[in-house]
Amino acid sequence: MYDFLFFTENILLGVALAIDAFSVSLANGLNEPCMKMRKMCGIAGVFAFFQALMPFLGWVLITTVLSYFEALRVFIPWIALALLGFIGGKMLYEGIKNKDCDCPCGCASLTLGALIVQGIATSIDALSAGLNFVKYDIFGAVVAAIVIALVTFMICLTGVFIGKKTGTKLAGKAGILGGVILILIGLEIFITSFI
């Protein structure tokens, strides 16, 4: 069961699921260009946790209470739009308020609460990935979730790093760009769910 195809399939699924989290990680790096490595790893870790948790929860819902899962599916794009719109709007507001801030380290810092909201918002659509896990037993679902978490961690750490390097050059304008990116990701998740 845990052959080359199993790992390839779940690595590719992890990459697909991590795209939104990568973009948000990039925005976080833009917003806080002097971020320490420990915080960068923390951000990547939170996204990895939620990207692994959501497909696993999807698997649990599908294997136990499928009718509830189908009822929840309608709300996923709305929840993602609301959460990312709120966090992006707040970041945009702070960026505009501090646009004249010339300090290279930015004027705002990402809080744990905001990071958790970002993690949930970017991973909630991954509940549907639980459909891919339906062929696995519980151990297979856990291993697949771990593979997705590892892939997401690496992708998001790269995103924070790129954003951080770019954010240093943008100084006070990075928060505005980061907020716009989050709002656009929320709109993208919302719009593509209806296509």
Q: What is the pLDDT of residues 108-126, one digit of tens each?
A: 678 888 899 899 988 887 7
What does DSSP assign to residue 35? Answer: -
Residue 62 CB partners (closer than 8 Å, separation 6+): 69, 130, 131, 133, 134
Q: What is the pLDDT of residues 131-155, one digit of tens each?
A: 677 778 889 999 999 999 999 999 9
pLDDT of 68: 62
In this structure, the number of other CB atoms found within 10 A of the CB of residue 6 comes to 16
pLDDT of 115: 92
Q: Which two tokens stand for residue 169?
A: 């050059």
What does DSSP assign to residue 136? Answer: S
Most confident of 10-19, 44-53, 173-182: 44-53
Q: Which two tokens stand for residue 19?
A: 């795209």
Read off the pTM. 0.76
Q: What's the pLDDT band for 59 if we cut at 50, 70, 90?
A: confident
Distance CA 81, CA 76 (A): 9
